[in-house]
Amino acid sequence: MLKIKRRDLDEIICHSKMQNPLETCGILAGMITDIDDVSIRDVLKVYHCRNELDSPTEYRIDPEQQLQIFEEIERVGLDLLGFYHSHPRGGPRPSNIDRERANYVGYSYLIVSLYPVRVSSWFLDEFGFKKEEIQTMPK
């Protein structure tokens, strides 16, 4: 389960709208707690990233920016939870490109669809994407 504050989710949606018609992307950090065989991924920090592909159908986080963010996450004692990106013209499901290029097994992939605005999250395991519950917390 991915837990995220309404404020952070609104910020991700706003970032996605501002970058429209290009896909936007970012990194999610926080804390992971395992309770009764359920992994709760609590988003505490959202990092907006640059899509170096400048594309409406695919994204790639700038590698230098990604490395800096990974180092900061480690330095402040948070866990890397996963990533987010938008689908300006598609639904909130992993696209074929997402499936082909996803290589961070064990992480969440939050997807924002813009027309209409819908959000979903997918956990990538060794067999592929599995939809995960999103729990929106108050601001």
Tokens of 69: 């963010």
Decide: 30 and 78 in contact? Cβ < 8 Å: yes
- Backbone phi, then psi, for 87, in 5-degree steps? -120, 90
Cα end-to-end span (Å), the chain: 18
Q: Please confirm whether the linkage preceding 21 is cis (ω < 30° from 0).
A: yes
Question: Which position has the token pair 């309404």?
Answer: 6
Q: Locate tokens 């097994």: which residue?
A: 105
CA 83 vs. chain centroid, Å, equals: 3
Cα–Cα distance measured from residue 79 to residue 75, given in angstroms and rounded to the nearest whole number? 10
From the list 11, 23, 64, 133, the catalytic residue is 23
Catalytic residue list contains 23: yes
**Catalytic residue list:** 23
